[in-house]
Chains A and B, each alone.
Chain A
Amino acid sequence: MPEPQTPDEAISQGGAGAPTDLAMEEGTSLEKNPGGPDGTGPAGKPRSLWSDAWRDLRRNPVFIISSLVILFLVIISIWPSLIASGDPLQADLADAQKGSEPGHPFGFDPQGRDVYTRVVYGTRTSVTVGVCATLGVALLGSVLGGLAGFFGGWWDAILSRLTDVFFGIPVVLGGLVFLSVVTSSTVWPVVGFIVLLGWPQIARIARGSVITAKQNDYVQAARALGASNSRMMLRHITPNAIAPVIVVATIALGTYISLEATLSFLGVGLKDPAVSWGIDISAAANYIRNAPHMLLWPAGALAVTVLAFIMLGDAVRDALDPKLR
């Protein structure tokens, strides 16, 4: 759509978008700028964006710590019994709300279930929701957005209005409406909902970076030399457009985990007997005065998990966008 840049596009490409797009705040320009003042940077030594980014990441303590935390979370979400021998559903009302005691370091919840075991098993839920929703959002969003950016025209116009529609719906509110009918206690309705409302964010970014990549001189040159559409997309545009999508998706993963917990807290996300930090926090909220430990442990686990993913995304973003150092 060859229209002049209007401010709404300037905004959506320039940064201030939905509050979840942490990555966009610093723009998505990925140009390498090795120089100090007056060209004091090293001459020569061309490196690819990715190997350069990897070199930076390996030395970044934030990246190392958050990756280790995430690795740990993934392992215990696959094999929770490695560190928790109990059953997260086993309840004994006699133990309800009791504090920490030997064998039960985090105490018991309002129904007398072991908080430690539930916190460990809750990891699986959160990681599953985060990973599945992110994969869905990234796939759907980058395909739709990428096509819109590449072909432009009507497809782009419709998609732009459609993303506007989805951006107009407050996420938590949409979740309440959409999920309040669902009675399933699996993670899939929540995942489905997040994909439904999350794809426009990635679509916008993918669209923007495809348009930017398309305007690169070498892509124009490839087009002038008669490269086919599919070849251009695969060889020239995708490698350049994918970095911002990866960055945003990593950070979004953390926010999706947080969103699942929020929805579960409001009673519409996961439902008993599912094991979720959000459900546990919600149940504990009523007893906050007498037994705050029931709230603090799952809340802490949730915060650490979300933080790990957001910091990972932040580190990746810094590595891929060296404009700011």
Chain B
Amino acid sequence: MLKARRSVLRLGAVVLATCCAAAAAAAWEPSKPVQLYVPAGTGGGADQMARMIQGIVAKHELMKQPIVVQNKAGGAGAEAFLEVKEKKGDAHLLLITLSSLFTTPLATGIPFRWTDLTPVKMLALDEFVLWVNSEAPYKSVADLVAAGKTQKLRMGGTGSRQEDHIITVAITKATGVQFNYVPYKGGGEVAVQLVGGHVDTTVNNPIEAVSHWKAGKLRPLCVFDSKPMPYPEKITETMSWADIPTCKSQGLDVEYLMLRGIFMPPGVTEEQVRFYRTLLDKVRATPEWRELMAQGAFNQTALEGAEFRAWLEREEERHRRLMAEAGFLAK
């Protein structure tokens, strides 16, 4: 308790409120190191976020026990999902998720659904932006679509039958433009391939492409969200994240956001879930977290409880529909 109080003083007023709420309900807390599974390899977006959480928790002493990050990348996350599903009632295990929560079971047919887990909290949503090379003649979505009607454009993306591929299919459905989709291993590689002119367009996350944008090598055309991103600081001389129009406003009716959320194994108590929810609220209140959010231009929606479940339900259905139309479902 003493330790908890000291960190309260250090963290200031915002955290004070959440922290005391926790102190009131502090009946359960972890008794050994908490493992945080990443269903992807080291160095990717989910991995970065997981290690960020680990670092923040350690730096601000938000918890007595440390968080330990473990990568379980096998089978596009299938391994991690199945393992967490089986560790029923283990309250010292967390799982950070990305879109593979939906796409992997649908594409590979492994016996797993998100309902096999206990949803804790949505941390943020990752945006997707349509990019082209700044030397390309496409100044708008309309230009790109027009070009796509006469020639087959190359779309670079991360993985196959995963989020980038699904967005590509959705664009095809919305505009009738057929793409030549080329899958790569990581988002950073995809951005570089676009800069090098090996592909014509990509749907990179902001954090993967921002540096090349800043250097004047890439041009953003639109963001796949319902409203523009809320970050008005200038990134280039003339533009900020907020200046990128939504795709819908450009006549491309596609919306897609990637989940960054935390889950627990099934069969944990409400009290344990509440502990981690409070912990994650504290993490979200730190300056380091806010810095990361601004850098990656994340959508900071953070649902929990029934709302989160409803969101998951909806997204799963949408993925099933999109993937069925594209022929990506496991036979």
Partners in one complex: no
> Which A residues fall within an 8 A CB radius of B?
none
> Which B residues fall within an 8 A CB radius of A?
none
